[in-house]
Amino acid sequence: MKIQKTTSRRTVLKAGLTSIASAAVITPEGYAALPEDVKPKAPGETKAVFLGGDVLHNFMAQEPPLRRMCERMGMKFYSIHDSRYLTPEFIEDADVLMIERWDGSQPGWVPGPVFEKAPDNDDFLSENLADAIIDNVNNRGMGFLSIHCMIATAFNRQKLIDFLGVKGVIHGPLQPVRVHNFNQNHPITKGMNDFDLGLDENFGAEVYRKDVTPLFETTGHWDKRHDYGGWCIEQGKGLVAGLTGGHTYFAYRDPNYLKLFWRSIQWVSKRKITPYMQG
């Protein structure tokens, strides 16, 4: 007769809290690890890093589709929810960095099921991190994809704004958004047709550098505001692109917007753009 050993709830909680407290990066193998425990990139590997989610944006709507796309491209995908763990050291061998993050208190991984106060993380984009992003793109050729509100997060980092080549225009109401007037001369948007996002924030990108290439435009169905919704720029050895959609899960489920993600990731990583693989 097999004897069933009973484990107390307290023991389970203690074990769980230990693993949660040490969780920072979701690795390609699907487990959580501290940045210093992530193995260095092996020869021939491509490392993609994504920072997403905050008090206003759903990490679990963003992460899975981006992970699936990068893995289908053969990349090793690492995602971070707690922005304290996106450090200059962690991206020094990254091939692609993607960020969708709004400044604001961010619990991330907390040390228990009950806590009195979330870690204070209002200004995740330190000058050191901003400088590291610019340096890795310019000097190593790392690709960078700015998603949704990232261009507004950069408001307080003039050097990063100059680097991106655009200024963020704060959105109006949550509304259906028309995505249109695609640049048919750029590989990210060539052949794309106009479509509607069911519900999103119409974040805008004000282009103020001549070497920025607009990719498409957006118009809010309700407020009728007209903006650039995508752009790209070559910087040093690297490539930068930006997509302003993505406040809600609609952008991460719409096959047309997923195609924009797919092509943008491939373009900033200097890959041949292939047909979007759904699923």
Distances (CA, A) of 109 to 82, 249, 250: 6, 22, 25
Tens of pLDDT, residue by residue over 100-152, are 998 765 655 555 666 666 666 556 788 999 999 999 999 999 999 999 999 98
Tens of pLDDT, residue by residue over 39-95, are 889 999 999 999 998 888 999 999 999 999 999 999 999 999 888 889 999 999 999
Which residues span the domain enclosing 137? 11-268
Q: Indicate whether 4 belongs to any domain.
A: no
Q: Tell me the average pLDDT of the chain.
A: 87
Q: Indicate whether 1 belongs to any domain.
A: no
Evaluate if residue 191 carries a pLDDT over 70. yes
Mapped onto helix, strand or coil, the DSSP state of residue 35 is: helix
Q: Indicate whether 275 belongs to any domain.
A: no
Q: Indicate whether 86 belongs to any domain.
A: yes
Q: How many residues does the chain have?
A: 279
Listing DSSP states for 116-168 in one string gives: SS----S----HHHHHHHHHIIIII--EEEEETTHHHHGGG-HHHHHHHTEEE
Q: Give 116's Cβ-side CA count (13 Å radius).
A: 0
Q: How many domains does the chain have?
A: 1
Q: 227: which 2 tokens?
A: 């903006």
Q: Indicate whether 79 belongs to any domain.
A: yes
Q: What is residue 27's predicted lDDT score, i.e. its pLDDT?
A: 86
Prediction pTM value: 0.89
Q: Indicate whether 180 belongs to any domain.
A: yes
Q: Indicate whether 227 belongs to any domain.
A: yes
User: What CATH code is carried by the domain that includes residue 235?
Assistant: 3.40.50.880
Q: Please give the biggest Cα pair distance in the chain.
A: 78
Which of 177, 185, 190, 182 is CA-nearest to residue 276? 190
Residue 70: its H or E element = helix 59-72
Q: Indicate whether 208 belongs to any domain.
A: yes
